[in-house]
Structure 1
Amino acid sequence: MGVSYFGLLKMILKSFFYVLLVSSIVIFSPIEVSAQKAKKGKLVQRFASIRANDVNVRAGPGVRYPVKWKFVQRHAPIEVIAQYDTWRKIRDWEGGEGWVHRAMLEYKRSLILTGGEQTMRRRPSDSAPAIARLSTKMIVLVKRCDLDWCYVSAHDHEGWIRRKGLWGLYPKETIR
């Protein structure tokens, strides 16, 4: 009592389609991504900045995910909060989250003024001569920071601004 040729062929085709179905489900299912399941190494949460003037922020880690919004200003500070392969999940100063390809990030540090206008000063002292007045939501590049003051550049000016009211630094973080 053997299996007929057509019965064997039917069984092989059934198995093939079953494997094809399971493979399709695995390949096209949404990817579960978290810092604990990062594909390459351990996540180091950090601040970075946007490399270009037009950067897509996507709903997931890949070009097949829809664009949620765009960054339109170079050097905007972001926080990297997760990673998957070459994609980084980021958070902006307003709390918005999305995915950006790592090539669109640079690790030059920048800050955004969130606490109102600030006076840039020649030295890290409230009595030092003023150099410029910086407006809210202005992006500045960081040269160094201590616990109270940051030395920054903005447009054609370099000087010291108070650390309070800046986004892009961890509490008690210093930059040398």
Structure 2
Amino acid sequence: MILPALMVAMMLSSGVVRAEDDDARGPVTNLPIPRYVSMKASEANIRRGPGLTHRIDWVFQHRGMPLRITAEFSNWRRVEDQDGVGGWIHYSLLSGTRTVRVLEPLATMYSSASDSVRANAQIEGGAIARLMECEPEWCRISADGYRGWVRKDVIWGVAADEIRE
């Protein structure tokens, strides 16, 4: 049985990369850390450490929920939600499909990346939408059959400086 302190020491010496590192890349995937993903499963145990023997601290229960990966270890990813709640999750429960969560009580979707054009729809706070593309201050999203542009500061699940085509 590996003691938790020993496991942490092994993780630190074996290349776990933390989100605080500049231009960090995951030691397992070589993908950027931090990065955003979504939950593939409708329910996922979030554990205190990377392994089935670690205690379950949280159960995330929403397919498509956006998550930020902050570290990697073997087949495990350290994730957090928009509130900073998180822990370790098995990589098979995650998807590369990008989603975002609406932060404001009611966000307006526009027909183009400007608030001076016609509004397409309004989307409720907490709603999850698929991320399509992003410009410096705007992102195009899709939710419930509606597509439109929202200001980047009204959604969570995309980096402030992220551009997507």
TM bracket (short chain): 0.7 to 0.9
Of 87, 90, 99, the residue aligned with 1:98 is: 87
| Residue aligning to 2:32 | 44
**Shift in Å at residue 37 of structure 1?**
2.5
Q: 1:35 to 1:76 in 2, by over 3 A?
A: farther
Structure 2 length-normalised TM: 0.82
Conservation of the 8 A alpha-carbon contact between 2:152 and 2:160: no
| Residue aligning to 1:29 | 3
Q: Which amino acid aligns with 1:138?
A: A
Conservation of the 8 A alpha-carbon contact between 2:41 and 2:63: yes
**Shift in Å at residue 41 of structure 1?**
6.4
**Shift in Å at residue 105 of structure 1?**
0.6
Structure 1 length-normalised TM: 0.78
Alignment gaps of 5+ in structure 2: 17-26
**Shift in Å at residue 121 of structure 1?**
1.6
- For the pair shown, which has the larger CA radius of gyration, 1 or 2? 1
Q: Which amino acid aligns with 1:84?
A: F
In the comparison of the two structures, how many residue pairs are matched? 150
* Structure (1/2) with the larger helix percentage: 1
CA RMSD of aligned residues (A): 1.9
Q: 1:43 to 1:153 in 2, by over 3 A?
A: closer
**SS at 1:134's partner residue?**
strand
Q: How does 1:149-168 map to 2 (within 5 A)?
A: 149-168=138-157
Q: Which amino acid aligns with 1:56?
A: N
Conservation of the 8 A alpha-carbon contact between 1:35 and 1:83: no
| 2:104 matches 1:120 | no
**SS at 1:158's partner residue?**
strand
**Shift in Å at residue 88 of structure 1?**
0.3
List per-residue Cα deviations over 1:97-156 (Å, max 9, x = no partner). Answer: 200000011111111112332111222221322222111111111110001211110111
Q: Which amino acid aligns with 1:37?
A: G
List per-residue Cα deviations over 1:31-75 (Å, max 9, x = no partner). Answer: 113497336365631111111211111111111112111111111
**SS at 1:63's partner residue?**
coil
Q: Which amino acid aligns with 1:169?
A: V
| Residue aligning to 1:60 | 49
Alignment gaps of 5+ in structure 1: 1-26
| Residue aligning to 2:66 | 77
